[in-house]
């Protein structure tokens, strides 16, 4: 049966249920609980990256160590599509249940080993190497988990309720992040300074208990009835990779759902949950505990909307909700993030209005200041001026100066000339830079730019409201998408076909969003410029999804 042809529910499908049965509740609970724990394991690393950089990358300078820690975090995202291919194939050949039982074992064991792994001081370079290997295993496991859990629940769901039933799986990424934030916060408050020394291992070691619970529950489950029926009838695919990606009718749907579905969903998800957190921490200088509590609060308020939009998608369709979510997000990101600045750190907002910063420089002297190994020197007057603003996360505009002219910084009415350090010996450069930096510090302080957000001036209700709106956008695009993915592909290659576009979209388009967006900010000096990345991708998805992908809510996936 063609993927592009609508399949209407018939008597062949599972009969309509008035309420959720005990077995259905058990399927959803077991699948969702295990997936929550997988996301918990996956996000622990990102939440603890600053500590991990000191523990496992101590052989290089502090900046380089943090970059390497972030690259190791990114490695988990990079390999997610490969996990989708490996475990998707297994899921379509040997079954849904056993495949995502394997993925949770890999994730749980890998995470627990991180908690036991000796630091760089104990075993040297072997520590970061082993850590990266474990991170790759985590990414592979997550690549196989989501498709299995979503497929398993959808194939148990009654016709007309797949959106609602699979929306429970959609809550798991947010709940996993929420759980990791709460566990870290609890351990940090209970242990104080000891947390940075050794207490950070406790959240990782907790995975052993979570793994035991998940495996026990999943062992009680039966195989998907749809998969069992297909196997009994001898209709299982012998080459799911070939059928999924080397035959154009199916490959076309894979490409379209990636660009017209999961890419936009991913950037909305990561903007609303990760980028918002990093923006508050890095740009608005809100302290870590307050920022994490605000994000956790928005997640607690917004998470039920996954179920709301999953339920609504059974009534009006998957596509209109997801496309509308992408469009609304793209239209409102700029005003929302500017409002976050106003309410989370009003001193920055006021200083930007009263004393805007402009760097006047010859563009030929300006570099993109990325130094992953800590060896390069950025010594032109333009680089010196921009680095002074970048390290303070101060928004600035650029003005072109005549060729060969030394750069200057305008902070309101104050003009500070930057020095040209290219030909200076290191000692002289260090001396001049210290004097220059002191002058800049005094100027930005006089102009009203704060070094950190004043807790007493943070408008908690308004910040929480704005963050909750961002989470609701997440629920609009993410709540219905599991059902949409499941319904687009036939049973024999469903696990394989849906997993790859999902994990390319979320692992690559979404997972690299914070890095890409902050690189765009660093290149331009505009603290809001990075928002163009999710806006453009979300608009692309809205156009392609609207015009080239079908609605699927009435398809019979049991045929």
DSSP state of 325: H
- State residue 376's pLDDT score: 62
- State residue 67's pLDDT score: 62
With b meaning 16 or more CB within 10 Å and e meaning fewer, what string describes 270-302? bbbbbbbbbbbbebbbbeeebbbbbbbbbbeeb
Q: Is 361 helix (H, G, I), strand (E, B) or coil?
A: strand
With b meaning 16 or more CB within 10 Å and e meaning fewer, what string describes 386-405? bbbbbebbbbbebeebeeee
For residue 66, is it within any domain?
yes
Tell which of 413, 446, 479 closes a domain: 446
- State residue 519's pLDDT score: 78
- State residue 22's pLDDT score: 78
The reply to whether 392 and 541 lie within a common domain is: no
The reply to whether 214 and 312 lie within a common domain is: yes
Q: How far apart are CA 135 and CA 107, in angstroms?
A: 9
Q: What percent of the chain has pLDDT over 90?
A: 46
User: Which CATH number is 430's domain given?
Assistant: 3.40.30
Contacts of 441 (CB under 8 A, 6+ apart): none
The reply to whether 362 and 474 lie within a common domain is: no
For residue 13, is it within any domain?
no
What percent of the residues of the chain are helix, what percent strand, and what percent coil, each to the nearest 5?
Answer: 75, 5, 25
Of the candidates 559, 557, 540, 503, the residue with the CA atom closest to the CA atom of residue 166: 557
The reply to whether 216 and 172 lie within a common domain is: yes
The reply to whether 149 and 248 lie within a common domain is: yes
The whole domain housing 57 covers 22-344+456-548
- State residue 14's pLDDT score: 39
Tell which of 446, 477, 508 closes a domain: 446
Helix (H) or strand (E) holding 171: helix 162-191
For residue 318, is it within any domain?
yes
For residue 44, is it within any domain?
yes
The reply to whether 331 and 362 lie within a common domain is: no
User: Which CATH number is 48's domain given?
Assistant: 1.20.1250.20
The reply to whether 461 and 437 lie within a common domain is: no
For residue 8, is it within any domain?
no
Residues facing 121 on adjacent strands:
none
Mean pLDDT by 10 residues, the chain (559 residues): 39 45 79 79 76 79 63 80 88 80 88 92 90 89 81 87 93 86 88 90 90 84 74 76 89 96 96 89 87 90 96 97 98 98 95 94 82 64 89 89 93 94 89 93 94 94 98 96 94 88 90 82 89 98 97 86
The reply to whether 275 and 233 lie within a common domain is: yes
The reply to whether 162 and 204 lie within a common domain is: yes
Tell which of 423, 446, 469 closes a domain: 446
How many Å is the Cα radius of gyration of the chain?
25
The reply to whether 338 and 408 lie within a common domain is: no
The reply to whether 117 and 182 lie within a common domain is: yes
For residue 62, is it within any domain?
yes
- Rounded alpha-carbon distances, angstroms, from residue 160 to 4, 58, 314: 20, 55, 6
- State residue 60's pLDDT score: 63
Number of domains within the chain: 2
Contacts of 247 (CB under 8 A, 6+ apart): none
10 Å CB burial of residue 365 (0-12, 13-18, 19+) is: buried
Of the candidates 514, 104, 529, the residue with the CA atom closest to the CA atom of residue 278: 514
Considering the entire predicted model, what is its pTM? 0.85
| HSE, side-chain direction, 13 A CA sphere, residue 211 | 19
For residue 15, is it within any domain?
no
- Rounded alpha-carbon distances, angstroms, from residue 93 to 34, 228, 351: 22, 11, 61
Q: Is 369 helix (H, G, I), strand (E, B) or coil?
A: coil
The reply to whether 437 and 499 lie within a common domain is: no
For residue 10, is it within any domain?
no
Q: What is the pLDDT of residues 41-89, one digit of tens each?
A: 777 877 787 788 888 887 665 556 666 776 777 788 888 899 888 988 8
């Amino acid at each position: 049966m063609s993927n592009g042809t609508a399949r209407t529910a018939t008597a062949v499908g599972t009969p309509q249920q008035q309420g959720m049965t005990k077995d259905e509740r058990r399927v959803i609970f077991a699948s969702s609980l295990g997936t929550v724990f997988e996301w918990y394991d996956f996000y622990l690393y990102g939440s603890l990256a600053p500590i991990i950089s000191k523990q496992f990358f101590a052989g290089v300078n502090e900046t380089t160590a943090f970059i390497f820690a972030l690259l190791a975090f990114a490695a988990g995202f990079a390999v997610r599509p490969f996990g989708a291919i490996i475990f998707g194939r297994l899921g379509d050949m040997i079954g849904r249940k056993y495949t995502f039982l394997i993925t949770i074992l890999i994730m749980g064991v890998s995470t627990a080993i991180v908690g036991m792994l000796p630091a760089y001081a104990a075993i040297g370079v072997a520590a970061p190497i082993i850590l990266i290997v474990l991170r790759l295993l985590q990414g592979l496991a997550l690549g196989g988990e989501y498709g299995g859990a979503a497929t398993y629940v959808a194939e148990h769901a009654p016709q007309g309720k797949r959106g609602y039933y699979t929306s429970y799986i959609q809550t798991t990424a947010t709940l996993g992040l929420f759980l990791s934030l709460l566990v870290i916060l609890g351990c940090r408050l209970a242990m104080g300074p000891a947390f940075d020394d050794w207490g950070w291992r406790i959240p990782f070691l907790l995975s052993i208990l979570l793994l035991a619970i998940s495996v026990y529950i999943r062992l009680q489950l039966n195989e998907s009835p749809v998969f069992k029926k297909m196997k009994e009838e001898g209709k299982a695919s012998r080459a799911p990779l070939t059928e999924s990606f080397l035959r154009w009718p199916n490959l076309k749907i894979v490409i379209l759902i990636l660009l017209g579905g999961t890419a936009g969903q991913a950037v909305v998800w990561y903007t609303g949950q990760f980028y918002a957190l990093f923006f508050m921490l890095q740009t608005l200088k809100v302290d870590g505990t307050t920022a994490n509590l605000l994000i956790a609060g928005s997640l607690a308020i917004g998470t039920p909307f996954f179920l709301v939009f999953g339920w609504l998608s059974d009534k009006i369709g998957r596509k209109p909700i997801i496309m509308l979510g992408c469009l609304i997000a793209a239209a409102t990101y700029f005003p929302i993030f500017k409002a976050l600045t106003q309410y989370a750190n009003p001193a920055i907002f006021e200083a930007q209005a009263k004393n805007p910063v402009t760097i006047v420089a010859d563009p030929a002297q300006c570099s993109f200041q990325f130094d992953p190994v800590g060896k390069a020197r950025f010594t032109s007057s333009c680089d010196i001026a921009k680095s002074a603003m970048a390290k303070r996360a101060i928004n600035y505009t650029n003005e072109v100066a005549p060729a060969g002219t030394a750069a200057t910084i305008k902070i309101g009415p104050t003009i500070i000339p930057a020095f040209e350090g290219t030909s200076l010996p290191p000692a002289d450069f260090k001396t001049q830079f210290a004097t220059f930096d002191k002058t800049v510090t005094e100027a930005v302080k006089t102009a009203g730019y704060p070094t950190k957000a004043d807790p007493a001036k943070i408008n908690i209700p308004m910040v929480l409201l704005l963050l909750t709106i961002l989470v609701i956008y997440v629920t609009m695009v993410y709540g219905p998408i599991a059902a949409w993915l499941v319904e687009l592909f036939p049973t024999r290659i469903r696990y394989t076909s849906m997993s790859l576009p999902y994990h390319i979209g979320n692992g690559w388009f979404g997972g690299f969003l914070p890095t890409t967006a902050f690189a765009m900010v660093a290149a331009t000096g505009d603290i809001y410029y990075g928002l163009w990345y999710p806006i453009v991708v979300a608009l692309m998805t809205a156009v392609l999804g609207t015009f080239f992908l079908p609605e699927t809510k009435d398809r019979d996936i049991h045929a």
